[in-house]
Structure 1
Amino acid sequence: MLPFFPVHMDVANQAYVQVRAEERFRSGNDTTAAETELNPLVRYDLIWGHGQNHFVALYQPRLVYTHTFQVPTIDENVVNPETLNLENLRDPNRTPLSTLHGGGGGIEILRQRYRLSVYQFFAYGPVTTTSLLVQAPWTGDGPPPDPNPIIPSTIAVRLTLLFLQTQVQVPIRISRRVALTPSFVYNAFGGADSESRGVIALTSGPGAGLALEVAATRDDRLTTSLGAARIVTAFQDDREGATILRAEATQSWRHWYSKNLSTELIAGGTVGGDEITGFSLFSIASAGLLYDSYPLVRLEPGAPPMGAPPGHGQRLQVGLIAKATPWVDLFSGELEQRFVGTLATNYTVDRTTLRVQGSYARVVNTPRSVAQYQLVQAEGGVRYRIHPTFALDGGVRYGIQNIDNAIRVNDISQATVYAGLLWQPLPGRF
Structure 2
Amino acid sequence: MAGNKAVAYQGPGRVEVVDTDYPEFELKDGPGVNPANVGRKVPHGAIVKAVATNICGSDQHMVRGRTTAPTGLILGHEITGEVVETGRDVEFIKVGDLVSVPFNIACGRCRNCKEGKTGVCENVNPDRPGSAYGYVDMGGWVGGQAEYVLVPYADWNLLRFPDKDQAMEKILDLAMLADIFPTGHHGCVTAGVGPGSTVYIAGAGPVGLAAAASAFLLGAAVVIVGDLNKERLAQARSFGCETADVSLGDPKDQVEQILGVPEVDCSVDAVGFEARGHGQDAGTERPATVLNSLMTTTRAGGSIGIPGLYVTGDPGAADDAAKEGSLSLRFGLGWARSHSFFTGQCPVMRYNRQLMMAILNDRVHIAKAVNATPIPLAQAAKGYADFDKGAASKFVLDPHGMLGSRA
Q: More helix per residue: 1 or 2?
A: 2
TM range (shorter): under 0.3
TM-score normalised by the chain length of structure 1: 0.22
TM-score normalised by the chain length of structure 2: 0.23
- Asked which structure has the greater CA Rg, the reply is 1
**Higher relative contact order, chain-length normalized (CA < 8 Å, sep 6+):** 2
